[in-house]
Amino acid sequence: MSGILMLGAILLPILGSIPIFLFKWQNRKAMRIYVELLVCAASLLVGYLLLRGPSAPFTVVTFTGNLTVEFKIDGLSTVFAGMIAVLWPFATLYSFEYMRNEPRERSFFLFYTMTYGVTLGIAMSGNLLTMYFFYELLTLVTVPLVMQTLTREAILASRKYLYYSLGGAAFAFIGLVFIIVYGSSIDFVYGGVLDLVKVGSRTNILLLIYVFAFCGFGVKAALCPFNSWLPQAGVAPTPVTALLHAVAVVKSGAFAIMRLTYYSYGTEFLKGTWAQDVVMTLTIITIVYGCSRAVKETHLKRRLAYSTISNLSYILFGVSLMTPAGLMGGLTHMLFHAFIKICSFFCVGAVMHETGRNYVHEIDGFGRKMPKVFACFTVSALALMGVPGMAGFISKWYLAGAAISTGEPLACAGVAALLISALLTAIYMLTIVVRAYFPPREFDYAAIEQVRDAKPLMWLPLLFFVIVILLFGVASRPITGFLGEVAAGRY
């Protein structure tokens, strides 16, 4: 029963989105209602499935031997699927307002909704092959979204995105092949599936392949040096940058790496090897690199994109610690960062939508003109910095705690990188806040007389995110307790 429901939850948005494109939709409002209902229905279905708890694997197709398309729900799927199921309906509401005056609205909603189904597919994959399939599919359905505006810039960006992602997936594929050959199965099993008898003396080759696969999936997670597609893809409409390039797509990369590390290769095999040092070093470099670029960048959306690069590597850093505590820190940051970053992106998007201003130096005095938006932005900025009492602090707390517990010098260096990055985060986020609220004395408010605050469809999602951020900050125990169980493989 639950197997059919899982398949249903994945196919509902994918197939349900086709009518958006098939019909002419004379009445735009009807189309919006249809899209929202579709997304909500899928989310409810996912919610129902997740609340029922872990499910048995459900095989859809068997190609040959143990190569199957298979779905299942375990702890990790619950976290990822739950996260996107909460975010998608709100992001869709926001995009109705945002896309109001943009051309090609139908194709936008077609792919936007389809992506939802594909991401659910990644979350609920039961084995590496299925995940790989949906992972490739994700690239294909999101390319049109990056291309949305059809400007030269957008086309270049989408081409770059396509090449990077496909290239990354190719490396990930090598990892898949080695698991097929040297693993006892390709299913996701907490602790890994490598068969040490088969591996024999080929440890170093397998470690190399692990690094390849890590980097391959790391392309989507914007691991340095494979990150340059992400800031460029910021030409897409804000709902895409916010939901896909801060949450769904990039976190699919991080999620895939979690599966690869904890459920396929296994931390027993990887811990303490040179491969661990290599990937951890890469994440540490990315943490600092992303932040420094964000400080230099003056375009608002690109600044946030660089910030995403850095924050994704927080997650990967947690994962690369190869301990349950590290995975828990990574999961916590994956969840909390999703809410924080989508909130700040939506705020910036609201500014762009209302005024067409894109750069940091253009928003002097906006705090007074757009009070709701900038109040939300301030909260997200503080949370991203990691002020105690907000979500960001909790996740960094667990990450740093996990790193220090390992006692490795490299992990301690990682903690230092987290703190340097926190300072840089403060710099690139708070300069925006200070500009908006404290313009220079000679600033003339008449110049921004016609600026209006965002419409309810835009700020209501923001309000929801802010509440969640604060709630996670002060009452995180139920959720962190659950994530701890998941990371220890007990759920």
What are the DSSP calls for 52-66, one per residue? T-----EEEEEEETT
* Shortest separation between residue 115's beta carbon and another protein, angstroms: 33
* Shortest separation between residue 261's beta carbon and another protein, angstroms: 24
Measured from the CB atom, is 330 or 473 closer to another protein? 473
Look up residue 158 and give its two tokens.
């989408």
Regarding 25 and contact with another protein (CB under 8 A), the answer is no
Regarding 467 and contact with another protein (CB under 8 A), the answer is no
Measured from the CB atom, is 205 or 434 closer to another protein? 434
Of residues 7, 11, 41, 404, which one binds another protein by CB under 8 A?
Answer: 404
Measured from the CB atom, is 170 or 434 closer to another protein? 434
Q: Which residue has the tokens 């729900």?
A: 73
* Shortest separation between residue 231's beta carbon and another protein, angstroms: 24
Using the rule CB under 8 A, give the single segment among 63-71, 128-136, 269-277, 467-475 that binds another protein: 467-475
Using the rule CB under 8 A, give the single segment among 169-177, 194-202, 219-227, 398-406 that binds another protein: 398-406
Considering only residues 334 through 393, tell me which ones interact with another protein, judged by CB under 8 A: 382, 385, 387-389, 393
Angle at 15 between CA 14 and CA 21, to 5 degrees: 95
* Shortest separation between residue 344's beta carbon and another protein, angstroms: 17
* Contact in structure between 229 and 160 (CB atoms under 8 Å): yes
* Shortest separation between residue 287's beta carbon and another protein, angstroms: 14
Measured from the CB atom, is 45 or 315 closer to another protein? 315
Cα–Cα distance for residue pair 455/296, rounded to 1 Å: 31
* Shortest separation between residue 438's beta carbon and another protein, angstroms: 6
Question: Rounded to whole angstroms, what are the CA distances from 444 to 122, 136, 373?
Answer: 51, 51, 21
| C-beta neighbour count of 63 within 10 angstroms | 9
Give me the torsion for CA of 323, 325, 331, 337, rounded to 10°: -120
DSSP one-letter code for 71: E
Spatial CA neighbour of 232 closest among 164, 173, 134, 310: 164
Measured from the CB atom, is 38 or 432 closer to another protein? 432
Of residues 3, 8, 401, 489, which one binds another protein by CB under 8 A?
Answer: 401
What are the DSSP calls for 297-311, one per residue? --BHHHHHHHHHHHH
Q: Which residue has the tokens 């229905």?
A: 41
Measured from the CB atom, is 145 or 331 closer to another protein? 331
Cα–Cα distance for residue pair 380/490, rounded to 1 Å: 32
* Contact in structure between 423 and 372 (CB atoms under 8 Å): no
Regarding 400 and contact with another protein (CB under 8 A), the answer is yes
* Shortest separation between residue 286's beta carbon and another protein, angstroms: 19
Cα–Cα distance for residue pair 134/120, rounded to 1 Å: 9
Measured from the CB atom, is 114 or 422 closer to another protein? 422
Using the rule CB under 8 A, give the single segment among 83-91, 92-100, 349-357, 404-412 that binds another protein: 404-412
Considering only residues 412 through 441, tell me which ones interact with another protein, judged by CB under 8 A: 412, 415-416, 419-420, 422-423, 426-427, 430-431, 434, 438-441
Measured from the CB atom, is 413 or 451 closer to another protein? 413
Residues in CB range of 77: below 8 A, 6 or more apart: 123, 124, 125
* Burial class, 43, CB count within 10 angstroms (exposed 0-12 / middle 13-18 / buried 19+): buried
DSSP one-letter code for 174: H
Cα–Cα distance for residue pair 334/433, rounded to 1 Å: 24
* Shortest separation between residue 50's beta carbon and another protein, angstroms: 23
Measured from the CB atom, is 168 or 439 closer to another protein? 439
Cα–Cα distance for residue pair 371/379, rounded to 1 Å: 12
Interaction site with another protein (CB under 8 A): 382, 385, 387-389, 393-394, 397-398, 400-401, 404-405, 412, 415-416, 419-420, 422-423, 426-427, 430-431, 434, 438-441, 473-477, 480-481
